[in-house]
Amino acid sequence: MGGIEQKYIQEAFDTNWIAPLGANVDGFEQELASYVNIKAASATSSGTGAIHLALDLLGVQAGDTVFCSTLTFIASANPILYLGATPVFIDSEEITWNMSPQALEQALKEAKENNTLPKAVIIVNLYGQSARIDELMALCNEYNVPVIEDAAESLGSLYKGKHSGTFGKLGIYSFNGNKIITTSGGGMLVSDDEQLISYSRFLATQARDAAKHYQHSVIGYNYRMSNIVAGIGRGQLEVLDERVAQKRAIFERYESAFANVDGILMMPELEETFSNRWLSTMTLDPEKIKVTPYELIDLLAEANIEARPVWKPLHIQPLFEGCEFYPHSDKKIVSEELFAKGICLPSDTKMTIEEQQYVIDVVLNNI
């Protein structure tokens, strides 16, 4: 916590606005929209709920397909299943670790030929790094398929000077407990289509019709953010730039420490982008480093340091067995290579420089 949050929480208590509406909800939506320079935002109970709403707003239903990045947390794809649709997973490319334009082009081409174009494409900005937005958006526009930009991990990141999460028809952010700013749990749905965002608020409050009695004509959800939680978000938003600077400093210390190690490569940063470096991640070359990522994770754990592998690609998750998948090329599945070689290092902004140096020393002593 940055320390400012309590002021907004106290205001919610003082005014007795505890429910999923109030000055903090309105303020958080307006302030977030202003920060990322987009016309409208709707505060939700989770980032997952925001994706679910986005898919519903685009008319996704049973029998439809939705294309989705494969190298991501499962929350990016679960809402596709909520609506009875079928996910099709798209491989990564090497620089951004995000959706491969090459793989997406092949998937869209085949879908067009088979008259099965997807209802939407979910593009994820992994670990704070923007995907190749220009190429991906051009493809989706060519085939007239709307984009949902999953910026759950990339609030504060920029692509050619424009904020991550603001390129697609709809964008989403997450404020889960581990994100760059947090509301303990929550999310935000954003768009330049103000009418769409207004309707999302209707759906997120159980789709209650304008009647004196409780009347409902369409399926709705209980997805609005509470006024207390939104107060935390308003306070957190005030320190977002500071958090980004801290995250980038953590990444840069790792990068400097491992710069001369042949076989360690920190996650690249695409030209003309600015990553919030939400997680400091790297890959180990198995031909040059004597330990595997899993072995290094165990060695770090013995030293009381928590590290993790990168996300397991969704196309090899048991839940999605049998789903279609488009690789980067006939000879290369980039997401699986990253899963085999990748490791996420401690990246908490509360970590001291001395604690980070301890992590660095343990890594260097065991590779």
Per-residue model confidence (pLDDT) at position 13: 86
Q: Please say whether the dihedral angle defined by the alpha carbons of residues 9, 14, 20 and 23, taken in this order, is positive or negative.
A: negative
* Residues in Cβ contact with 285 at an 8 Å cutoff, skipping those fewer than 6 apart: 262, 263, 264, 265, 341
* Residues in Cβ contact with 171 at an 8 Å cutoff, skipping those fewer than 6 apart: 38, 148, 149, 150, 151, 164, 165, 189, 190, 191
State mean pLDDT over 327-336: 96
Per-residue model confidence (pLDDT) at position 21: 81
Q: Which two tokens stand for residue 146?
A: 């709307």
- Tell which residue, 356, 252, 359, 350, has the closest CA to residue 299: 359
3 state SS of 45:
coil
State mean pLDDT over 149-172: 98
Per-residue model confidence (pLDDT) at position 12: 86
How many residues does this entry show for the chain? 367
Out of 179, 212, 247, 332, which one is annotated catalytic? 179
Return d(Cα 345, Cα 300) in angstroms, integer: 10
Mean pLDDT, rounded, of the chain: 96
Which single residue is written with the structure tokens 């929350």? Answer: 75
Q: pLDDT tens, 273-324?
A: 999 999 999 999 999 999 999 999 999 999 999 999 999 999 999 999 999 9
State mean pLDDT over 89-94: 98
Active-site residue flag, 169? no
Q: Which two tokens stand for residue 39?
A: 């016309």
- Tell which residue, 84, 18, 79, 24, has the closest CA to residue 51: 79
Which single residue is written with the structure tokens 């997805």? Answer: 223
- Tell which residue, 89, 79, 131, has the closest CA to residue 312: 89
Percent of the chain at pLDDT > 70 equals: 100
Pairing mode, strands 65-69 and 40-44: unpaired
Return d(Cα 340, Cα 284) in angstroms, integer: 9
Return d(Cα 71, Cα 333) in angstroms, integer: 11
Per-residue model confidence (pLDDT) at position 179: 95
Q: Which two tokens stand for residue 321?
A: 């067995």
Q: Which two tokens stand for residue 128?
A: 């704070």
Distances (CA, A) of 81 to 73, 117, 201, 322: 15, 17, 22, 14
- Tell me the one-letter amino acid at 148: I
Q: Which domains does the chain have, with CATH numbers?
A: 5-237 (3.40.640.10), 241-366 (3.90.1150.10)
- Do 188 and 42 form a contact (C-beta atoms < 8 A)? yes
- Do 189 and 54 form a contact (C-beta atoms < 8 A)? yes
pLDDT band at 2 (very low <50, low <70, confident <90, very high): confident
Partner residues linked to 208 by β-bridges: 216
- Do 203 and 221 form a contact (C-beta atoms < 8 A)? yes
Return d(Cα 58, Cα 53) in angstroms, integer: 9
State mean pLDDT over 42-48: 97
- Do 147 and 140 form a contact (C-beta atoms < 8 A)? yes
Q: Please say whether the dihedral angle defined by the alpha carbons of residues 158, 344, 75 and 327, taken in this order, is positive or negative.
A: positive
**172 pLDDT more than 90:** yes
Return d(Cα 338, Cα 286) in angstroms, integer: 12
pLDDT band at 3 (very low <50, low <70, confident <90, very high): confident
H-helix or E-strand containing 104? helix 101-113
Rounded to the nearest 5°, which phi and psi values hold at 124? Answer: -100, 140
173-177 long-range contacts (CB < 8 A, ≥24 apart) are 173/32, 173/47, 173/50, 174/46, 174/47, 174/48, 174/50, 174/75, 175/47, 175/233, 175/236, 176/46, 176/47, 176/152
Q: pLDDT tens, 107-147?
A: 999 999 999 999 999 999 999 999 999 999 999 999 999 99
Per-residue model confidence (pLDDT) at position 17: 83
pLDDT band at 255 (very low <50, low <70, confident <90, very high): very high
Percent of the chain at pLDDT > 90 equals: 92
Return d(Cα 95, Cα 103) in angstroms, integer: 14
State mean pLDDT over 201-225: 92
